[in-house]
Structure formats: C-alpha cells, structure tokens
Amino acid sequence: MGDKLNFEQSAKVIAENSRFVAGGVNSNFRLGMQPGPLVFERGEGAYLFDVDGNRLIDYYCGMGAMVLGHNPAGVRQAVKEQVDRGILFAGQAPVEFEAARIICERIPSAERIRFGSSGSEVAQAAVRLARAVTGRRKIVKFEGHYHGWFDNILWSTAPALNAGGPEDAPVPVGGSKGQDPSEAEGLSILGWNDLASVEARLAKGDVAAVLMEAAMCNQGAISPAPGYLEGVQAACRKHGALLIFDEVITGFRLGRGGAQERFGVTPDISIFAKAIANGFPVAAIVGRADLIDLFATGGVLHGGTFNAQPVAMAAMIGTQNALTPEHYERSSVYGVRLRDGISDILKEAGIKAQVTGFELMFHVAFGLDEPARNYRDMARSDKKGYSLFSLALLQRGVRVLERGAWFVSSEHNDDVVDQTLEAVRSAAREVAPQ
C-alpha cells in the first residue's frame, strides 16, 4: 500500500458549509467520524469518490441501504421511467400496488402493508398500532436496539454506551438532550437474548408489544440464541402482547425474506426500510391483515405526504427485481470470504477480536475474548482500538463504520475483497500491539 490518503478538501468543504448546515451534516450519525465528515461526488458499484479525488471501497453502503451497491443500472432506469410519468399524485399509483404485492410475496409475516419514508417513522406506526390493539401502554425494548430517533423510543440505545442500572434490571438511558423524560415510562427496558427476563416481564400482563431487532445489528451483529425468538413469541401469545420485529437492517440483507424467514419465526408486525429500495426513502410496516387493516378501519392514524412516493416505489421495484436468489448466493460468497479473511488476518497480527454476524452484514469487535451476546458485552469491547483501525483502513482507501459494522453489497466482488484484505493486512500491522 502506498501513501496514506488525505481528506483535506472534505474538511474544507465541511468547514465552509457549517455556516449553513449545522455541523456540516444532516444527520447526527454523520458527525464525529474520523478524520471528520467526508463529502462525496459520486458512487458507483463498491466505490465512493470524494472531493479529494480519493476512490474509497465503501462498507457503509448507505448505512446498510445499498445492498446492490452504488447506482445500479436497473434502479436508475426504473426511477427515470417513473419521473417521466410524474412525481407525486396525493393519490394512488400502479407502482405502489406492484411494490406492495412484491413485499407481501417475499416477507413471511406480510399479509398487509403500509408504506412510509423512514425506519423511525414506521417504528412509530408499529408502536401506536400495538397500543391501540391491546389497550396497554408498555413496550418492551432491549438495550442497544435502535428503532429511530423519536422521543418515545430513543432510550438505552447506540451510540450512548452508558448502560443504565444493573445488567438484570436495566433502567432507561435517554439518547438526547431535550427528550421528554416521561416517554421512558412507556417502555420497559430489558437485556436482549435472555428469555427468562422477557417471560417474567410479560407475566405482569401490562405489555402491549415486544419490539426488537430480530438479530441485533446496531451493536454488533448478534444472532438470537437458539430458541430465544420462539420463546419470546410463545410468551407474547400467552400474555396477550404483540411481537414486533424491526427488520430495518436485517430486511433484504439476512436473506430476501429477512431475519423472520432466516430464523423461522413470524412476528405479528414487522418494519422494513434501508435495503428495501437500495437508497431511496422507502419504509414499510407489514403484518397480520387484521392488525394492519386497523389503519384503514380501526381509527389508528397513519399518514404521510411522501408515503408510497411513486419515484421511490419505482426504485423499490427496481431493487426487488435485482434481489434474486442468485444475488444472495453470489454476494454471500464474497461476504463470507471477506469476513473470514478479516478474522484470519487479525488473528495473525495478534489483535484480539471477534468477527461475528452474517454474509452481507458482519461486525468486528476488538478486545473481546468471546463473541458478544448482548449490549453489555459489546460495551466491554475496545472501541478506541477499533476506531484507530477504521481510520487506518480509511487512509488505505477502505471506508468502514467506526462502530464495527461492515455492510456488503453484490458489488463487493472477488477483486474488491482482495483489495480490501490487502488494506486490512496493512492496517492491522499498523495498529497491532508491538
């Protein structure tokens, strides 16, 4: 690997434009990354091209959205055709029904669907629906699981790694100043992957729903323990609570039918966003017909000017058309080669690390002796060490999230994996204990 890349021009553009845009970014999750927020001119396949003229192999993949890589031809074409037909009708369009049919065919729990624009928003719809159906207030939410940035749900979640209370009796920790503290009363926070605590909590009989990432992907990439999802589902049924899967990351990434198909557990309600439309603002709430129909007939409000936005719907159809079984087979081979290659290289370099997760989304945690099972385990990982490693990778042309997640697309082919592993080898040498 030659000279390290520099990012001076990005820093300059961010500094200049912080006069207009707070912090030079439009999402707080784009702040605070090393060496600073970057500015991109173009994306193509596995690569992003920044204003410094750097070509970066991108493993952010739009925070998980770009499951087909940057700017795939099929999605571009679908968007162009829809733009020519019209942009927003405040009425129905054939594209949204075609999009709905595809999702209902692909997702096991999807008897009915409603579209929205962001994961945060459809998480709200899910919580409201569960409360309306059960007449109860409490939502069980797990430490480290993220379901959007709204006041009522942004508790005990990344990036605030300060877990509250003892491990077997967590207390809610807010994620932002200005958050309404009374919203915490609507939640019951538990540690994930511990069935006994869910059973005990549900037995009190006041829980509207259990909401979870079916595989925990906002802190680590952690599978549910064997029998955990089934056990939670049985406890929900026994005690009259609904089971909600947040598949905003796992959807179309752990497989075409999401985590629910992969793990064989069908929730009452689930939500999707990110990879559903490869970078266009589409989200969905799906589930049992009798539940989702309450948006139409049960007095449960769900609205949005941009819901089922026709251009985004066309992008979604273009994306779903490309998400064939062959897509998953091919990309999985690259993903596994990359994941196992990283694990081997770190071991050889004498860096203690756990590489865990799936084919198209995995996680690298430094400093752990065992794979993490939950948020508290992740909180014990060496964040600082990994952050230095991620910076060393960026300087070698590989862009990875500082929190350890790697998102793989179908464009991360053998050649890209080879280049990545070479950078990993060099970065590992730089940060390895001497």
The site string for ligand PMP over 71-110 (x = CB under 6 A, - otherwise) reads ----------------------------------------
State whether residue 190 is helix, strand or coil.
strand
Q: Residues 248, 286, 308, 361: which binds ligand PMP (CB under 6 A)? A: 248
CB 422, min distance to ligand PMP, A: 30
Under 8 Å between Cβ of 329 and 314: no
Which one of 49-57, 114-122, 165-173, 400-408 is the stretch in contact with ligand PMP (CB under 6 A)? 114-122
Q: Interface mask (CB under 6 A) for ligand PMP, residues 252-291, using x and -?
A: ---------------------x------------------
Interface map 123-142 toward ligand PMP (x if CB under 6 A): x-------------------
Q: Starting from the edge strand earliest in sequence, which strands make up the sheet with 405-407, in order?
A: 353-357, 361-366, 405-407
Residue in 70, 114, 128, 147 binding ligand PMP, rule: CB under 6 A:
147
Nearest partner of 327 among 72, 60, 42, judged by Cα? 72
Nearest CA-CA partner of 388 in 344, 343, 353, 337: 353
Cα gap 275→68, rounded to integer Å? 8
Q: Is 211 in the site for ligand PMP (CB under 6 A)?
A: no
Please, which residues bridge with residue 216 across strands? 222
- Find all residues with CB under 8 Å of 149, minimum gap 6, and list them: 120, 175, 176
DSSP annotation of 332 reads H
Instruction: Select which of 274, 375, 377, 383 is catalytic.
Output: 274
Out of 50, 58, 96, 246, the residue judged to bind ligand PMP by CB under 6 A: 246
Taking alpha carbons only, the member of 276, 141, 331, 145 closest to residue 221 is: 145
274 tagged catalytic: yes
Q: Which stretch binds ligand PMP (CB under 6 A): 182-190, 241-249, 285-293, 415-423?
A: 241-249
As given in the structure block, the two tokens for residue 8 are 């001076």
The smaller minimum CB distance to ligand PMP, of residues 241 and 285, is found at 285
Residue 351 φ/ψ region, left for φ over 0, alpha for ψ in the -120 to 50 degree band, beta for the rest: beta
What distances in angstroms separate CA 251 from CA 223, 361, 390, one per listed residue? 14, 11, 26
204 is catalytic: no
Whether residue 146 lies in the annotated active site: yes
**Residue 117's closest CA among 320, 250, 309, 310?**
309
The catalytic residue among 52, 58, 246, 268 is: 246
Measured from the CB atom, the residue of 128 and 425 that comes closer to ligand PMP is 128
119 touches ligand PMP by CB under 6 A: yes
Q: Which stretch binds ligand PMP (CB under 6 A): 144-152, 197-205, 330-338, 352-360?
A: 144-152
CA 4 to chain centre: 30
Residues marked active site are found at: 146, 246, 274
Applying CB under 6 A, the residues found at the interface with ligand PMP are: 63, 118-120, 123, 146-148, 213, 218, 246, 248-249, 273
